[in-house]
Amino acid sequence: MSHDPQTPADPVPGAVPTPRLSPVLQAVLGRIARHGHVARDTNARFDAEATLGQRVADRVAAFGGSWTFILLFLGLLAGWTAGNWLLGRAAPDPYPFIFLNLLLSMLAALQAPVIMMSQNRQAAKDRLDAAHDYEVNLKAEIEIMALHEKLDRLREQDLKAMLTRQQEQIDLLTRLMAERRP
């Protein structure tokens, strides 16, 4: 009977089950074994893979969410309403500013999906950063565990050496005491 390589073999009675390693853990352990680095610039990679539309969406969202845009837009709205108000009935868009409402609705209809595209891209970037942070933290945890093991081995070696020296000193003192007795 053959087993699928993806399914674990029948457990051996008395054997300790070994968990399957996740692909991330396998990659991190591989980098540790090769003394490779886990840290990388995820922003550079993410930005390099961006399409023209994604870069435009990011710039539009960055400008649309800035104080510069807000102040310019407030100035435009104030100028539009003041100009049309002062011109009265001869104004191209008299009060209640229906054409301005149409322009604002079209701007909102175009700007909202572009901002949502940028937010989706930022969410994907955040997920990539979180996965990278997990890998870095995992490697750090493994390295710390290895350091603890090294320290424990050193402490054990020092303790054995100290006990050996202590036994030698006891033997020497016992021999000296035996020699001094008449």
- pLDDT, tens digit (0-9, with 9 covering 90-100), for 5-32: 444 445 556 655 667 878 877 777 787 7
Position 27: which residue type? A
What's at 150, amino acid-wise? K
Summarize pLDDT for 126-171 with one digit per residue, the tens.
999 999 999 899 889 989 999 999 999 999 999 999 999 999 999 9
Residue 58's pLDDT band (cuts 50, 70, 90):
very high
Convert the pLDDT of each residue in 82-91 to its tens digit: 999 999 889 9
Whole-structure pTM value: 0.62
Write the single-letter amino acid at 28: V
